Structure 1
Amino acid sequence: MKKDDMIAWFEQGSVSIPKLLFNHYSDLGLDETEFMMLMHLNVFIDSGESFPTPHDLSAKMSVSTTKCMEVLRNLIQKGVLTIEQLDDSSSVISEQYSLKPLWRKLINLLMQENQNEVQQEQEQEEINLYSIFEKEFGRPLSPFECETLAMWVDQDHHDPLIIKTALRESVMSGKLNFRYIDRILFEWKKNGIKTIDQARAHSQKFRQHQQPKNQKPSQSQNSSAVPFFNWLEQ
Structure 2
Amino acid sequence: MHYNDFRTLGFTTLQNGLIAYYSQLNISDAELILIIQLEAFSQRGDNFPADEKLAANTNLSPAEVTGLLQKLIDQKYLTIDQITDSQGRIGNRYNLNPLYLKLDDYLAKNVNRRSEPTAATNEAAEIDNSPQTQLARQFEIEFGRYLSPLERQEIASWLNEDHYQPEIIKLALREAVLAQAYSLKYVDRVLLNWQRHNLKTSAEVEKFLQRNR
Q: TM-score if structure 2 supplies the norm length?
A: 0.51
The residue that corresponds to 1:73 in the other structure is 70
Distance 1:77 1:10 in 2: 36
Distance 2:3 2:29 in 1: 31
Gaps of 5+ in 1: 127-234
Moved over 4 A (4+): 5-8
The residue that corresponds to 2:12 in the other structure is 15
Give RMSD over aligned pairs: 2.6
**Structure 2 SS opposite 1:112:** helix
The residue that corresponds to 2:97 in the other structure is 100
Larger Rg: 1
1:20 Cα deviation from its structure 2 partner: 1.2
Which residue of the other structure, out of 80, 83, 86, is the alignment partner of 2:83? 86
1:88 Cα deviation from its structure 2 partner: 2.7
Distance 1:118 1:7 in 2: 39
Q: TM-score if structure 1 supplies the norm length?
A: 0.47
1:119 Cα deviation from its structure 2 partner: 7.8
**Structure 2 SS opposite 1:97:** strand
* Aligned amino acid, residue 45 of structure 2: G
**Structure 1 SS opposite 2:83:** strand
Aligned length, in residue pairs: 122
Distance 1:6 1:125 in 2: 50
Q: Which has the higher contact order (CA 8 A, sep 6+)?
A: 2
The residue that corresponds to 1:29 in the other structure is 26
Deviations 1:158-181 (A, max 9, x none): xxxxxxxxxxxxxxxxxxxxxxxx
**Structure 2 SS opposite 1:15:** coil
Distance 1:24 1:8 in 2: 32
Distance 2:69 2:7 in 1: 30
Cα distance change of structure 1 residues 13 and 73 upon mapping to structure 2, 3 Å threshold: same
Gaps of 5+ in 2: 122-213
Matched residues, percent identical?
A: 26
